[in-house]
A and B are shown apart, each in its own frame.
Chain A
Amino acid sequence: QKEVEQDPGPLSVPEGAIVSLNCTYSNSAFQYFMWYRQYSRKGPELLMYTYSSGNKEDGRFTAQVDKSSKYISLFIRDSQPSDSATYLCAMSGGGGSNYKLTFGKGTLLTVNP
């Protein structure tokens, strides 16, 4: 079983739609959960950061973590064409690997005007 699994998509939605992106993971030691946005041939840009279980909201973005199910989600409300990018989940924490981020493969999102 892969440590972090993420549906690569592609996902195509109309402008204004609510987008739901998610990842599952197998390592119960993960404590810190992040979502990054990556435009083509650019570096990952940190969008959301969450510690342990719960919800976090920032503008149009909401991150959810369910540690009991080993499942994390990112919701984008009122999606815009500028949201078109690859969204990466990443996780860290626990044991001897506090430092490294473990990434999902990314979901390619296209928001159509």
Chain B
Amino acid sequence: EPEVTQTPSHQVTQMGQEVILRCVPISNHLYFYWYRQILGQKVEFLVSFYNNEISEKSEIFDDQFSVERPDGSNFTLKIRSTKLEDSAMYFCASSVDSGSTEQFFGPGTRLTVL
């Protein structure tokens, strides 16, 4: 059964460093998303991406964040200068169509900022 994959599973970084989180969405899906979940809190939407551009972003997704689909299979989230409060689980998701249909999530990347 096709699934969303994410690498790495755990990333530890120093405050101020750049990190890139990687995702491989399900192959026939057209819409891609990033969410995050701070420990003990809700899953929160960050950004959606379609046709090589951002469709929607939340207020969390400020200038420190960027997304890219560098090739036909990968979808990345970059945080330019990490802060302590960026520590969270980051989930990639994909869907065949817009967010009104099922979104399938990857296993997540745990980001720890020291």
Q: Which of the residues B56, B102, B107 comes within 8 Å of A99, measured between beta carbons? A: B56
Residue of A nearest to B44 (CB): A103
Q: Which of A11-19, A67-75, A77-85, A89-97 contacts B (4 or more CB under 8 A)?
A: A89-97
Whole-angstrom CA separation of A96 from B4 in the bound complex? 26
Q: How far is the CA of A46 from the CA of B104 in the complex (A)?
A: 7
Do B99 and A105 have beta carbons less than 8 Å apart? no
Checking B31, B33, B42 against A103 with a beta-carbon cut-off of 8 angstroms, the contacting residue is B42
Interface size (A, Cβ < 8 Å)? 27
B interface residues, how many (CB within 8 angstroms): 27
Residues of B within 8 A of A106 (CB): 42
Q: B75 on the interface (CB 8 Å rule)?
A: no
Q: A43-B91, A93-B100, A96-B56 are in contact. Are A102 and B45 (CB under 8 A)?
A: yes
Question: B45's closest neighbor in chain A, by CB?
Answer: A100
Are A32 and B56 neighbours in the complex by a CB distance under 8 Å? no
* B58 sits at the interface (CB 8 A): yes
Contacts A96-B56, A97-B56, A100-B56 known; A44 to B100 CB distance under 8 Å?
no
In the bound assembly, the distance between CA atoms of A43 and B107 in angstroms comes to 4
A-chain residues with CB within 8 Å of residue B22 when the two chains form the complex = none
Do B105 and A43 touch across chains, with their CB atoms under 8 A apart? yes
The CA of A42 and the CA of B106, in the complex, are separated in Å by 8
On chain B, the residues within 8 Å of A104 by CB distance are 42
Supplied contacts A41-B89, A92-B100, 17 more A-B pairs, CB within 8 Å: A36-B105, A43-B106, A44-B43, A46-B103, A49-B102, A92-B99, A98-B99, A99-B99, A100-B45, A100-B48, A100-B58, A101-B33, A101-B103, A103-B43, A103-B44, A105-B41, A106-B42
